[in-house]
Structure 1
Amino acid sequence: MTLKPPLIDGRTSTDIAEQTRRLLCHYLSGAPHYWNPRDDGGEAGRALTGVFAHYCGLVIDRVNRAAEKNFLAFLDLLGNVPVPPLPAQVPLSFLLEGTAGEGFSIAAGTRAQAEPPAGSSEPLMFETTSDLWVTTLELAAFDKTPNNGLPARDVTRLILNASGAEERADKQEGIFDQAETFHFGLDLAKGRTFPENRPVSLFFFISNAKYDSTGEVVGPGPATRVVWEYSAGATAWKPLLVEDESESLTRSGSVQFLVPADFTRQQRHLFERKLFWVRARLEGPVNPAIYRPAPRLKGVALNTVFAQQAMSMRNEVLGSSNGNAGQSFTAFRKPVLPGQRLEVLERQAAAGAAEEAWNLWQEVPNFYGSTPQDRHYIVDRSTGEIRFGDGKLGMIPPSGTRNVRLGHYQTGGGAAGNIAVGQLKTLVAGHRLIRKVSNHVAAAGGAAGETTDSVLDRAPRALRHRGRAVTSEDYEDLARLASGDVARALCVPLINLAAQPCQVISTVADEEQGAGQVSVIVVPQTSDSKPLPSRALIERVGEYLRRNSLATTSLSVVGPLYLRVNIEVHLHLASLRFDDRVKRELGAAFAAYLHPLAGRGGLGWPFGRRPHDSDIHRLIRSVAGIDHVSYLSISLSADERPFGCTGDPVEAIEATERFLICSGQHSVITS
Structure 2
Amino acid sequence: MLPRIPLDDRTFESILQEARRGISQRLPEWTDENTHDPGMTFLELFSWLSEMQQFYLSRVPERNLRKFMDLLGVSPLEASSAEAEVSFGNIREAVVLPRGTKLLAEDQPFETLSAVKLLPLAIDRIVTRTELEASDRSASNTGGNVAFYAFGREAAADSRLYIAFDREPVVGETISMHIRLADDADYSEQSSGRSHNGIIPSARVAWKIFGWEEEHGASWLPLRLLEDDTQHLTYSGRISFEITMPVRPVIVHPAGDRPRYWISCTLEQSGYELPPRIDRVLLNTTKARQQDTKSEQIEYDGEGVSSQSIVEDSFLARYGKLRVQVRERDGRWREWNELASFSGAESDSRAFVVEREFGVNGPVTVRFGDSKQGAIPPEGKGNIRRIHYTEDFASLCWIGRSNGLPHQKFQLFDLPCKWREGLLLQVGVREADGELLWEDWEPVENFDRSGPLDRHYVYDPESGQLMFGNDENGAIPSSHEDLNLCVTSCVLGGGERGNIKPHLLNHWVQPELEAYGLTADNAGYGVGGREGETLEMSLERAQREWQTPYCAVTNEDYVRIAKSTPGLKVSRVHVIPDYAPGRENAPGAVTVVVVPQGLSDTPMPSAGFLATVAKHLDDRRLITTEVSVIAPEYIKVTVHAIVVVEPHYTEEAHRIVSTLNRLLTPLDKSDGIQGWPFGRTVHKGDIYGAISRIKGVAYVQDLWLDAEGRFLRKSAGGDIVLPGSGIVYSGDHRIELISRTQL
1:409 equivalenced with 2:491 (yes/no): yes
| Residues 516-665 of structure 1 mapped to structure 2, 5 A cutoff | 516-517=590-591, 547=619, 550=622, 552=625, 554=627
Shift of the alpha carbon at 1:477?
9.2
Partner of 1:296: 277
Give 3-state SS (helix, strand or coil) of 2:538's partner: helix
| Residues 233-248 of structure 1 mapped to structure 2, 5 A cutoff | 235-244=218-227, 245-248=229-232
Partner of 2:136: 154
Distance 1:138 1:159 in 2: 12
Kindly tell me: are residues 272 and 477 of structure 1, through their superposed partners in 2, closer, same or farther at Cα, counting changes over 3 Å?
closer
Give 3-state SS (helix, strand or coil) of 1:248's partner: coil
CA contact (8 A) 2:85 2:522 kept: yes
Match of 1:280 among 243, 247, 265: 265
Shift of the alpha carbon at 1:225?
5.9
Give 3-state SS (helix, strand or coil) of 2:99's partner: coil
Partner of 1:104: 95
Give 3-state SS (helix, strand or coil) of 1:83's partner: coil
RMSD: 5.8
1:421 equivalenced with 2:526 (yes/no): no
Partner of 1:345: 427
The structure whose Rg is larger is: 2
CA contact (8 A) 1:343 1:406 kept: yes
Match of 2:529 among 446, 457, 474: 446
CA contact (8 A) 2:416 2:464 kept: yes
Shift of the alpha carbon at 1:66?
3.8
Distance 2:620 2:401 in 1: 43
Shift of the alpha carbon at 1:344?
0.7
Partner of 1:181: 160
CA contact (8 A) 1:229 1:279 kept: yes
CA contact (8 A) 2:425 2:442 kept: no
Q: Sequence identity, in percent?
A: 24
1:276 alignment partner AA: Y
Kindly tell me: are residues 471 and 356 of structure 1, through their superposed partners in 2, closer, same or farther at Cα, counting changes over 3 Å?
farther
Distance 1:383 1:557 in 2: 53
Kindly tell me: are residues 389 and 259 of structure 1, through their superposed partners in 2, closer, same or farther at Cα, counting changes over 3 Å?
farther
Shift of the alpha carbon at 1:300?
0.6
| Residues 221-240 of structure 1 mapped to structure 2, 5 A cutoff | 224=204, 226-229=206-209, 231-232=211-212, 235-240=218-223
Kindly tell me: are residues 464 and 204 of structure 1, through their superposed partners in 2, closer, same or farther at Cα, counting changes over 3 Å?
closer
- For structure 1, the 5+ residue unaligned runs are 11-60, 116-122, 212-217, 500-508, 524-531, 559-595, 609-630, 632-640, 657-671
| Residues 183-332 of structure 1 mapped to structure 2, 5 A cutoff | 183-188=162-167, 197-208=172-183, 220=200, 224=204, 226-229=206-209, 231-232=211-212, 235-244=218-227, 245-260=229-244, 262-270=245-253, 271-282=256-267, 286=269, 288=271, 291-314=272-295, 317=397, 318-329=399-410, 332=413
Partner of 2:654: none
1:113 equivalenced with 2:98 (yes/no): no
Aligned length in residues: 484
Give deviations 1:310-333, integer Å, cap 9, x for gaps.
333325534433334444555555
Higher relative contact order, chain-length normalized (CA < 8 Å, sep 6+): 1
Shift of the alpha carbon at 1:140?
0.8
- For structure 2, the 5+ residue unaligned runs are 13-54, 187-197, 296-392, 598-602, 632-667, 678-694, 696-706, 714-719, 726-743
Match of 1:139 among 99, 102, 123: 123
Partner of 2:68: 74
Distance 2:594 2:223 in 1: 41
Kindly tell me: are residues 223 and 70 of structure 1, through their superposed partners in 2, closer, same or farther at Cα, counting changes over 3 Å?
same
Kindly tell me: are residues 272 and 210 of structure 1, through their superposed partners in 2, closer, same or farther at Cα, counting changes over 3 Å?
same
Give deviations 1:547-567, integer Å, cap 9, x for gaps.
555455748799xxxxxxxxx
Shift of the alpha carbon at 1:135?
0.8
Kindly tell me: are residues 336 and 537 of structure 1, through their superposed partners in 2, closer, same or farther at Cα, counting changes over 3 Å?
farther
Shift of the alpha carbon at 1:514?
8.1
Kindly tell me: are residues 365 and 348 of structure 1, through their superposed partners in 2, closer, same or farther at Cα, counting changes over 3 Å?
same
Distance 1:478 1:69 in 2: 34
Shift of the alpha carbon at 1:136?
0.4
Distance 1:73 1:370 in 2: 15
Give deviations 1:511-542, integer Å, cap 9, x for gaps.
9678445689999xxxxxxxx9x999999999
Kindly tell me: are residues 152 and 465 of structure 1, through their superposed partners in 2, closer, same or farther at Cα, counting changes over 3 Å?
closer
TM normalised by structure 2 equals 0.51
Give 3-state SS (helix, strand or coil) of 1:272's partner: strand
Shift of the alpha carbon at 1:464?
8.0
Distance 1:405 1:489 in 2: 52
CA contact (8 A) 2:129 2:151 kept: no
2:505 alignment partner AA: L
Kindly tell me: are residues 542 and 268 of structure 1, through their superposed partners in 2, closer, same or farther at Cα, counting changes over 3 Å?
same
Distance 1:445 1:599 in 2: 29
Give 3-state SS (helix, strand or coil) of 2:257's partner: coil
1:433 equivalenced with 2:516 (yes/no): yes
TM normalised by structure 1 equals 0.55
Distance 1:431 1:254 in 2: 26
Kindly tell me: are residues 450 and 210 of structure 1, through their superposed partners in 2, closer, same or farther at Cα, counting changes over 3 Å?
closer
Give deviations 1:270-319, integer Å, cap 9, x for gaps.
2333333323335xx5263xx33222211211111122333333255344
Distance 1:319 1:518 in 2: 61
Give 3-state SS (helix, strand or coil) of 1:279's partner: strand
Give deviations 1:148-175, integer Å, cap 9, x for gaps.
5x66433223434xxx43x34x444448
Higher strand share: 2
CA contact (8 A) 2:468 2:475 kept: yes
Distance 1:460 1:330 in 2: 34
Match of 1:89 among 69, 83, 87: 83
